[in-house]
Chains A and B, each alone.
Chain A
Amino acid sequence: MEALNAVLVGVPLTLLVTAAAFAMGAVLGVPLVVGLRSERALARIPCRFLVDLLRGVPAIVWLFVIYFGVSIGAYRFAAVPAAIIGLGAISAAYLAEIYRGGISSVHAGQWEAAQALGVDGRTVFSRIVGPQALRVSIPSMASYLISLLKDSSIASTIGVTEIVFYTTQDARSGGGGLTVYIIAAITYTVLSIPLGLASRALYDSLRKKVSR
């Protein structure tokens, strides 16, 4: 019981870091995917490089770099903002690739039909192709979110007091052995199940409307 309490204290920060990083990635992934798909090499190549860099370097290294390495004047990042920024930037790279797949799956005829009506490129993207691409992307986005929920435990290494932080602390101080880790595992599972359910419900309701 004591172990359970110890683990649950970490839940709010696990959820905060996950949700904030995912939101940051979901938003920043949009300009990134526009860059990745650009016909202009000047836009495409830097975006490609950024995505590969963000995905290629381990998350723990990014968090250390941001937390210990970055100081803007006297300002240094606190642990939670550093974790959110690091995981958010990595999420932006992964989500941009997910968006890219979704956009490629939208039939070229959709661009053409809208362009033939005289609709400008930006509006075609935001109103015609984007919504359809997003629908296709939902299952992959949910899958990424669940994996991010677990990977947010990396934030414990820079002192963010989330689930794994308290779990490790409890395991070291108490004599409970594996119990506290099993409780942590169950907690993560319980948190991720609703995400999967919600994603499937969202996907189905969108598909029911357009059924394609």
Chain B
Amino acid sequence: MDVDSIPQQTPEKIAQIDSADLVVGILSGVDLDGLLTLCDGLRALAGSPRTVVLQNVAIGGAASNSQAGDANSSVSLVPWSVLAPDPAASPIQSISTAYELLFAATQKLGARACCLIASQLENSTPDWICKLLNPLLSSEFDLVLPYFEPHKVHGLLNSSIVYPLTRCLYGKRIHNPLGPDVGVSRRLTQKLLGPNRNGGSAPTHPLASLTPGAVCGNMQICQVHAGTRIYPSMDWTNMSSLMAQVLGPIFLEMERWAACWQRTRGSAAVATFGDRISLPQETAELDLNRMIETFQLGVRDLQEIWSLVLPPATLFELRKLSRLAPDRVYMPDELWARIVYDFALAHRLRTINRDHLLRSMTPLYLAWVVSYAREFEIAGPMPVDQRIERLALAYEAAKPYFISRWRWPDRFNP
């Protein structure tokens, strides 16, 4: 990505700046007051690094440099239009462009690191952004990711697939591998923007490339406790496009780094900074009956697609589950892990159209969500991270199965 492709006036604004130590991109989650507080926080960082803050004009308006501080301030504000240049682009493409623009600006300005903020936190001040930047500046870390407190109901795609799969494949217990808030060193941006960034394969989402690229490139990774994230209300009836948007890039990265993750055994914790900030979580109601209906409908009508992806034993288990009374439907973690692996393999083999494949996984995901929610109903209050840890262990236990299927997909698999 060339810096010239940065939309509207942003390239001229950046061209006026000779160099910087830090580039901070604000996609959302910081209002005008928060932005001014952030500028103060950035000025107070050790060594007063010269910082360029790219602020998304689509969210909450734009602050001027005079508002942010005096003309000689070490912090410069540059308005940033994230959704340009192609209004017809999908949201994931727009965000992908935003990450690439940020990395390109980091390269152009010769900055030591960059950071992108896209989520909103509960009871949090913009100071946490400075905490995200600290390991990049004071230590030799290349990738800093937030560690959001796991929520019972929100962020389940991360808890059920993204986290356990990343942990099991790449051997690092990174709780939010897709950020979306990230701190990235210049070394890692160079690697991501380098000529072999996609290894000749289809372009992927830069967020999905970050963690695998950093782990397989032997770079230093850490997490920062970021508190509880505020999740916008979720439309459970329209999950399939989200599944396709999120899992597609992850499965592509899996294909790209196959040689690396096949050598990895077990998993290890990564350095984690800050203190856990646990707040009482509001309970959100899930329409479990509707989810079970979707699963049962999937078992009835999507058999012909699933039979191309899943082995007979798994299909048999699913049929058995669908015949149970709605209050007894329970998908074991081991079964769920194998389903995810089988879909990842089918994605690699292009068994069917990839978009169809990922969308057809939705009823199975809903069945797992139902089982997960039921466990909390039956067992009462229990720490969410314990439950997620159990799932991650199931993924790790099933990894030999996945490696075997990945290497010999044609081998008989009952």
A, B bound? no
Q: Name A residues whose Cβ lies closer than 8 Å to a Cβ of B.
A: none
- Chain B interfacial positions (CB closer than 8 Å to A): none
